[in-house]
Amino acid sequence: MGAYCNVDVSLPPFYGVASSQDPRFCKHVHDNVHGNIYIDPLSLNFIDTEQFQRLRELKQLGFTNMVYPGAMHSRFEHSLGVYWLAGQCVEKLNTYQGLELGIDRFDIQTVKLAGLLHDVGHGPFSHLFERQFLPQVISGCDWSHEQMSVDMVDYMVDEHRIDVDSQMIKRVKDMILASSDFAPPRSSSEKSFLYDIVANGRNGIDVDKFDYIPRDCRACGLGCNFEFQRLLESMWVLDDEICFRAKDYLTIHKMFATRADLYRTVYTHPKVKAMELMIVDALVHANSYLEISSSIHDPSQYWKLDDTIVKTIETSPSQELKEARELILRIRRRNLYQFCNEYPVPKDMLDNFKKVTAQDIVCSQDYESNEKFTIPDDRVSHLLPTSYQDMIVKVYSKKPELVQAISEAFENFQLKTYGIKTQVHSTPQKKRRYNSTV
């Protein structure tokens, strides 16, 4: 597929080295997923800051370790992994198509920095900070961790006087935002394929997933048969887009299927979601006293916020934090919100999905229907060859004695709203009734 070209490894110190495997100018780190990682001097200037080191205190999977004890890995090691894979990706393209694509050392360094810094703006406890906590304490909040990552990069450069080209930093920030709603427009002269390496908003195949999918599987003790190395070796740029060989479609299928399995078995595990709901409630109760949300637009204060906020609440004697402390104590003692029921939203309703509220379920308690119905295939799962994503609505009760009533009301809500109802998991009361008849 065209001529091969050699990689120029004679680089000025500012850019590090073209080959990230050359140990002469790099710091060596051993990663439990990718093996030896070599960090170039410019990237090390960012890593050796308190803002980047903060990522050590942000668990990649939040409170998932309370169900999967091995899930203790942090966004720090994930960011190093994405840095490494981003470098591997652009360097392989440079090896195979460098002359054709016009890839230079500036591009290589830019892509590596984008991979390193793409998550530096994340809040505590994975995504629940921005998706569940902030909407409850700030009306109409449109904050995103991608935008905060961009703001944090600017702050780090200024605060630590990092000697880096301003145009390089601009492109790094654009690459971080590439798959978000805040993605800036690109000019026709830009090498658009470079923006799909770290965060691919076009088809979702990017090195971010190449890292977190095998890393999360390993941490949670799950098997992973997705071989991202195969995709790194076979990718090719055509019409300014990164493409893959048609015969590698099964590898790509495995990537999305493995991610879907992680969502079902790990990320949305019923007890994991119960604890996340409780943490959100605890943060909401503590917000007015600790002013947790007050720093989300100020990088100089935001970098001080991490997962240790739970320990701050838990050990504080303040009366204002009593409700938040009690919720965290319930998590420690495994006295969790009780799972009631769940259902997958029908595929044809996804685009116009209306968020289910507690009032919707309460108002469905007395709804009845004697009509028979058939459960179609897509009510079991949407994970067929045409789709790799489900939307699952889970309902929890803060009080154990209300589980049965809420579960039944939720079934009625499904029947009233969609004309069918499903009970995927039996409530404790139903299990006891069943066991007593056996």
Q: From the candidates 145, 269, 285, 382, which is the catalytic residue?
A: 145
Structure tokens given for 124 = 């505590």
Residue 300 identity (one-letter amino acid): S
Residues present in the chain in total: 438
Contact 16, 25 (CB under 8 A): yes
Structure tokens given for 304 = 């001080």
Distances (CA, A) of 381 to 243, 343, 347, 373, 395: 29, 10, 10, 17, 18
145 is catalytic: yes
Strand residue runs (E) in 292-335 = none
Distance CA 205, CA 179 (A): 11
Contact 328, 314 (CB under 8 A): yes
Contact 28, 36 (CB under 8 A): yes
Distance CA 248, CA 30 (A): 29
- Token pair 């004890």 in the structure block, residue: 69
Distance CA 413, CA 365 (A): 8
Distance CA 26, CA 179 (A): 30
Structure tokens given for 429 = 């009361």
Is residue 281 within a helix (H) or strand (E), and if so which, with residue range? helix 270-290
Of the candidates 293, 261, 235, 271, the one whose C-alpha atom is nearest the C-alpha of residue 97 is: 235
Distance CA 53, CA 47 (A): 7
Distance CA 62, CA 69 (A): 12
Strand residue runs (E) in 236-301 = 236-238, 241-243
| Cβ-Cβ contacts under 8 Å for 148 (sequence gap 6 or more) | 121, 122, 123, 296, 299, 302
Of the candidates 275, 145, 272, 273, the one whose C-alpha atom is nearest the C-alpha of residue 220 is: 272
| Cβ-Cβ contacts under 8 Å for 309 (sequence gap 6 or more) | 124, 283, 286, 290, 292
- Token pair 């966004």 in the structure block, residue: 75
Contact 367, 418 (CB under 8 A): no
Q: Which residues are catalytic?
A: 145
